[in-house]
Amino acid sequence: MDWNRGGRCTDNHVHGLWPRFARRAGNILQEDGLWALLVGAFRRYIFDYRRFYLYEHRHIVRDAAAFLPSLEEFDECFVSSNDGADRLAEGRQDFRHIVPRAGYALDRGAVAFCVYAGHRELAHVGWLAASESARRALDRLGYHVDFESGEGWTGGAYTVRRYRGKGLLTYSCLRRFEYLLDSGVACSRAAVDTGNPGSHRTTMRFGPRLYATGCQLKLFCWRRWVERPPDG
């Protein structure tokens, strides 16, 4: 399913962004607790020092049956416009309430992949992009993606807490790689926090080239990014 027609803007920095940040904060508080909310806010607005694995994926056709999530019943869809997201939200939970910049990202050309448990409740959302403007709507890390040479980007994956451990990230990676391959994008780049071993293991199932580790140092609006060869 691809909810991708139209291009009307339903989200912008002035009228839509802060209410969405407030909804997202409430969701984090409910799902992951006060500590997760405070850590996320501190990293976003004050100080952040983290290291990331950097991957290059070569997209190939795979057997989807080997990557299915362990959900009894689910729906999935790609969304590439706010009009499509509006139609989707008529009968399902609006994923833009989970990702504050989702509306802006859709307007910039990013594509969301959503999985719904029981057809209505959002279980997972992940993102892909085929342009720098689309990627930068969601990701500010300093590693390079050569969109001019046909590379793509994947990232921004989030799984609702009660659906974690069911293989949704694995399935999301598969479907987003398929989408890019079907769109003529044979290679993509991505990053995973080195402190997230579960996501690293999931990523390595697809046999990427681990080409570097990146280090982000952020203090308020100042940022520094350094890349080194991978450990070992």
Whole-number pLDDT of residue 5: 35
- What pTM, to 2 d.p., does this model score? 0.86
Please, which residues bridge with residue 49 across strands?
A: 217
Sign of the Cα torsion 34, 36, 38, 41 reads negative
pLDDT at 105: 98
Nearest Cα neighbor of 110 from 227, 223, 11, 210 is 11
Residue 65 identity? A
Residue type, 156: G
Q: What is the pLDDT along the chain (232 residues), one digit of tens a residue?
A: 444 433 333 334 444 556 666 766 666 666 777 776 687 778 778 999 999 999 999 999 999 999 999 999 999 999 999 999 999 999 999 999 988 899 999 999 999 999 999 889 999 999 999 999 999 999 999 999 999 999 999 999 999 999 999 999 999 999 999 999 999 999 999 999 999 999 999 999 999 999 999 999 999 999 999 999 987 5
What does each C-alpha distance from 176 to 29, 110, 212 come to in angstroms? 28, 12, 22
User: Among 147, 137, 163, which residue's Cα sits nearest to residue 9?
Assistant: 137
**Dihedral (CA of 136, 32, 46, 213) sign:** negative
What interhelical angle do 168-182 and 197-204 show, nearest 10? 40
Q: CA-to-CA distance for 89 and 121, rounded, in angstroms?
A: 11
3-state SS class at 35 = helix
Q: Which domains does the chain have, with CATH numbers?
A: 2-228 (3.40.630.30)
- SS3 at position 220: coil
CA dist., res. 126 & res. 122, Å (int): 12
CA dihedral 27, 31, 33, 35 (to 10 degrees): -80
